A and B are shown apart, each in its own frame.
Chain A
Amino acid sequence: MERETELALVGRLREGDPDAFDAVYGEYHARLYNFLARLSRRRDVAEDLLEETWLRLVASGTRLQADTRLGPWLYTVARNLFYSYSRSRQIDESCAAGLIGLWPAGTPQPSPFEEAAARELERRVERALASLPAHDREVLLLVTVEGLVPAEAATVCGVTAETMRQRLSRARARLSLALGRTAPEPVMLASEVAP
C-alpha cells in the first residue's frame, strides 16, 4: 500500500469512515488470517482473533495517530491478542498436535507431477514452520511471508532492531534444521566479538 494512500486511509479512519475501514479490511484481512492461523496453528482460533483485531481497529480508529502505519499496527494487535489468548489458555507450545491438519487438503484430483511436488514441498514447509516455537514463527512470518521490513517487525514484536536481527538469525537456523538441512553459520554479533 502506498504511504500516501495509507495516510489518507488513517485520516478517514480517524473520522470513522466505514469505506476507509472496508479498504483496510480488503488489504489486510486474508494476510492477517494467514499470519494468525500459522502463529496459532488453529484456524478457528485465527478466525476469533482476527475478528477481535478488526473490532480493536474500529474501537481505536478515532484515536489513531495521523502517521500510523496500518500494517505494523494491525500485526501488533493480532500478535498481542494471540499471546493473551495463549496465556489465558495456558497453551503448551511444545504440543504440536493438529498442526498437520491446519489447512484442508482440498479436492483430490489427478494432477501433474510438478503440482504434486509443489504441494508436498508446501506441506513440508508448513510442518517445519509449525514445529518451531511461536517466537520463531512470528519473526519468520512477519519478515519473510508478510514482507515487513525488520525494523517494522521489531516494532510489532516490541523489541529492538538488534534483538530482531538475533531472533531472525535463530529462527532461520531452526527452520533449516526443521527442513532437514544443516543449520547455517550463526551470525557473529558485535557484542560477542572479543575486544
Chain B
Amino acid sequence: MTTDDFRVDPSMGELSVLTVHAPDPARAARTTARCHAVMASRRGASPTPAPARAIRRRRLEPALVAGLCAVYLFEVLARALRLYGF
C-alpha cells in the first residue's frame, strides 16, 4: 500500500465528513491585534537590524576577553621574572 492509498481508504474517506469549525471571532480579533502591535513595535523599535547588532557583539566580546586575558598574563609573567631577579 502506498501513502496515496490512504486517501481512498474508507476510514480515511470518513474523515472528510469532519466539519471545519470557526474559532471564536473575539479571540481571533484579539490575536490579530496583538500580532499587528508586535509587528508595528518591531518596525519602529530599532533602525539597526537586530541581527547586525548581534553579529557585532559576537565579534567584539571574544576580542575584548582575549585582550584582557593577554594583559593579565603579561603582568603575571613580568612579576614572576622580577621576583626571580631577571
Contact = CB atoms under 8 A, between A and B. Distances in A.
Interface stretch (A14-22, A71-79, A85-93): A14-22
Contacts, number: 103
Interface string B13-35: 01111111111100110111011
Given A122-B19, A172-B6, A179 B35 contact: no
A185 B9 CA distance: 12
Contact of A30 (B6, B10, B20, B27): B20
Interface of A: 16, 18, 21-22, 25, 29-31, 33-34, 37-38, 46-47, 50-51, 54-55, 57-59, 61-63, 103, 118, 121-122, 125-126, 129, 140, 143-145, 150, 164-165, 168-169, 172, 175-176, 179, 181, 184-185, 187
Which of A103, A144, A172, A184: most chain B CB closer than 10 A? A144
For the residues of A in contact with B, the DSSP-based class is: helix
B7 interface: yes
A10 B10 CA distance: 37
Size bin of chain B's contact surface = 20 to 34
A168 B39 contact: no
Interface of B: 1, 3, 6-7, 9-12, 14-24, 27-28, 30-32, 34-36, 38-40, 42-43, 49, 51
Given A25-B35, A33-B23, 20 more contacts: A16-B42, A16-B43, A29-B28, A31-B20, A38-B18, A50-B23, A51-B27, A54-B31, A59-B38, A103-B19, A103-B21, A122-B18, A125-B17, A129-B15, A145-B16, A165-B3, A172-B11, A175-B11, A176-B11, A179-B11
